[in-house]
Chains A and B, each alone.
Chain A
Amino acid sequence: MKCKLKLASVAVAALLAGAGVASAEEVFVKQTSIVIRAGKGAAYDEVGKAVKGDKLQIIAREGKWLKVKTNSGEGYVFETAVAETKPGDDMSGIGKMLGGASGSSTASDAAAGKGFGESLDWAKSKRMSPAGLNRMIALRKSVTGKDWEQFTDEGKVGPAK
């Protein structure tokens, strides 16, 4: 799975292009980092990641979701995460503003799901354990897209299909 994610990240990087306006079949990522998922929802597995300014090739538009191409296959991003024009470089995070003082503030770090680690430093200063947070994240990752589809189908809830 990790290997797949790495491949997908590389694939997205390969789709990078210079500044400008995307063609009708392409869009730019406008958030610091986004997750490309196997399905149309936060419950689905990650199939890749992309960072601000990356250009994504659109395969299809399905409602408010865009099906995009990655090296390892296809995945979905939500329309509000992307734009037709390349975003400015004004939201790159704290570390960059401080000249990389933290050494962990690059877009690639953000794409890898790394923050700056301040929350862990904060917890340490308060003698608090991050164990509860880690369990929350692990439990979240254990919920699959299939679980969610079954749940919404049985309960007759969720987005219109």
Chain B
Amino acid sequence: MNQRNLTVSVVVLFLASTGFLGGCGGAGRGARGMSIEGLIGAGAKAGAAMSMSEADEDEMGRTVAIAATNRWRLLDRPALTKYVTLVGLTVASTSSRPDGNWVFGVLDTPELGAYSGPNGYILVTRGSIAAMEDESELAAVLAHEIAHVLNHDGLEAAKHAKMNEAGLEAMSAADQRLAAFNQTSDFVVKTVLTSGWNQSQETKADSNAVKLLINAGYDPTGLPRFLKRMQAQTGSGGKAFGTHPGTADRISRTTSQIGSGKPGATNRERFVKYAAEARL
């Protein structure tokens, strides 16, 4: 991870909202409705552009996990969750952040879906696990979400949040910061759980997921195989995972990327044993 990639981000928003940009042509005060990118630009001109720390990123990731586990219940199956965690840790162990904060959960819904918040909070639905046939498919879905985390897609989303500064001036600095955090979190949560990542982010996450699967020794065809099953359930233009590119395109791209490399582990037997808990 390159920390410089995190430059700007929400911190500048906080600076703007608390008057730190007051000397920049009133960019902060007069920015009601301005996009965070606009505020970031103004902040950068004032030399105020900063980077988000891991602790800040972690708080943003926690809001995503809280929102997801309130929209759906967290599945109360410790053995299955432990299994998902072990698969996820295995995939992450060969990534650029094997020492990262990787936390996994299973959402109690029959819907197909998987979600990731900044700094490694990853959730997969019971419905997705029930639709899988082996461990490489689970690893593939987790690898896709891990790739979003590694690419800091959540923070990228934060940059595009809109800031409503109404009433901020009357608040204390701490309250201003909280208000700014809340508004940014609203947008990040909406992006992760509802509107989805953009097509470029999704394509990159698929590509990096294939690499992660190969590095971890899993059969990378787990990704296109699961996508085909998803396609069968949702149709060729299916967007079962938010705004992901059309499933047919994803299958084509990942299959082409994998080529005729040597197959990896599928571990079907132990997957079937644990996945039974997802088929309630």
Using CB atoms and an 8 Å cutoff, list the residues of chain A in contact with chain B: 30-35, 37, 40-43, 76-78, 80-81, 90-94, 97-99, 101-102, 105, 109-110, 114-119, 121-123, 125-126, 128-133, 135-137, 139-140, 142-143, 147-148, 151-152, 154-159
User: Known interface pairs A33-B54, A101-B177, A151-B90. Does A42 touch B98 (Cβ–Cβ under 8 Å)?
Assistant: yes
* Contact assessment for A130 and B66 in the assembled complex, using a CB-CB cutoff below 8 Å: yes
* Contact assessment for A80 and B97 in the assembled complex, using a CB-CB cutoff below 8 Å: yes
CB distance from B209 to the nearest CB of A (A): 15
User: Known interface pairs A42-B98, A119-B59. Does A155 touch B70 (Cβ–Cβ under 8 Å)?
Assistant: no
* Interface size classification for chain B: 35 or more
Partner of B62, one of A34, A133, A148: A133
* Contact assessment for B82 and A157 in the assembled complex, using a CB-CB cutoff below 8 Å: no
* CB closest residue in chain B, given A77: B99
* Contact assessment for B53 and A110 in the assembled complex, using a CB-CB cutoff below 8 Å: yes
Inter-chain CA distance A156–B51, complex, in Å, is: 39
CB distance from A150 to the nearest CB of B (A): 9
Contact with A along B1-38 (1 / 0, CB 8 A): 10100100011001100101000000000000000000
Cβ-based interface call for B170 (8 A) = no
Inter-chain CA distance A109–B215, complex, in Å, is: 35
User: Known interface pairs A132-B74, A139-B85. Does A101 touch B66 (Cβ–Cβ under 8 Å)?
Assistant: no
Number of cross-chain contacts by CB at 8 Å: 199
Cβ-based interface call for B44 (8 A) = no
User: Known interface pairs A128-B66, A129-B70, A133-B69. Does A157 touch B14 (Cβ–Cβ under 8 Å)?
Assistant: no
CB distance from B152 to the nearest CB of A (A): 14
Cβ-based interface call for B253 (8 A) = no
Inter-chain CA distance A142–B67, complex, in Å, is: 23
Contact with A along B76-96 (1 / 0, CB 8 A): 001001100110011011101
CB distance from A54 to the nearest CB of B (A): 14
Inter-chain CA distance A156–B81, complex, in Å, is: 20
A-B contact pairs, 6 of them (CB 8 A): A32-B55, A94-B56, A98-B177, A110-B53, A133-B62, A157-B265
User: Known interface pairs A110-B55, A115-B56, A158-B90. Does A136 touch B99 (Cβ–Cβ under 8 Å)?
Assistant: no
CB distance from B126 to the nearest CB of A (A): 14
* Contact assessment for A43 and B97 in the assembled complex, using a CB-CB cutoff below 8 Å: no
Inter-chain CA distance A120–B93, complex, in Å, is: 29
Q: Which of B10, B11, B52, B135 counts the most A-chain CB atoms under 10 A from its CB?
A: B11
Cβ-based interface call for B218 (8 A) = yes
User: Known interface pairs A119-B66, A154-B270, A158-B93. Does A94 touch B14 (Cβ–Cβ under 8 Å)?
Assistant: yes
Inter-chain CA distance A13–B182, complex, in Å, is: 34
Cβ-based interface call for B185 (8 A) = yes
Inter-chain CA distance A65–B152, complex, in Å, is: 23
User: Known interface pairs A122-B63, A133-B69, A139-B81. Does A90 touch B51 (Cβ–Cβ under 8 Å)?
Assistant: yes
Interfacial chain B residues near A31, Cβ < 8 Å: 3, 54
Contact with A along B194-226 (1 / 0, CB 8 A): 000000000000000000000111100000000
Cβ-based interface call for B263 (8 A) = no
Inter-chain CA distance A129–B66, complex, in Å, is: 7
* CB closest residue in chain A, given B219: A157
Inter-chain CA distance A110–B81, complex, in Å, is: 27
Sort A-B residue pairs by CB-CB distance and give the 5 closest, nearest first: A132-B69, A119-B62, A78-B99, A101-B173, A93-B53
Interfacial chain A residues near B156, Cβ < 8 Å: none
CB distance from B57 to the nearest CB of A (A): 9
* Contact assessment for B56 and A116 in the assembled complex, using a CB-CB cutoff below 8 Å: yes
CB distance from A159 to the nearest CB of B (A): 5
* Contact assessment for B78 and A139 in the assembled complex, using a CB-CB cutoff below 8 Å: yes
* Contact assessment for A135 and B217 in the assembled complex, using a CB-CB cutoff below 8 Å: no
Interfacial chain A residues near B51, Cβ < 8 Å: 90-91
Inter-chain CA distance A121–B180, complex, in Å, is: 12
Interfacial chain B residues near A155, Cβ < 8 Å: 90, 135, 265, 267, 270
